[in-house]
Amino acid sequence: MKSEPKITIKVAEVLATILSSRDLIENLKTAVLAADTKSVDLDFSEVEFISRSAAHALLIMKEDLRRRLFNKKEANFINANKNVENMLRMVAANRVLPKKKPDFHAERVDIKSFASLL
Q: Which parts of 52-71 interact with other proteins (CB under 8 A)?
A: 52-54, 56
Q: Which of 85, 82, 90, 92 is nearest to 61 (CA)?
A: 92
Minimum distance of other proteins from residue 103's CB (angstroms)? 6
Nearer to other proteins, 2 or 99 (CB): 99
- Taking CA atoms, 35 is separated from 31, 73, 74, 101, 110, in Å, by 7, 9, 11, 39, 57
Sign of CA dihedral 57, 60, 64, 65: positive
Total residues contacting other proteins by CB under 8 A comes to 43
Contact criterion met (CB below 8 Å) for 17 and 52: no
Span from 19-27, 36-44, 62-70, 71-79 in contact with other proteins (CB under 8 A): 19-27
Q: Is 117 in the site for other proteins (CB under 8 A)?
A: yes
Q: Is 99 in the site for other proteins (CB under 8 A)?
A: yes
91: helix, strand or coil: helix
Give contact residues for other proteins (rule: CB under 8 A): 14-24, 27, 48-54, 56, 83, 86, 90, 94-95, 98-99, 101-112, 114-115, 117-118
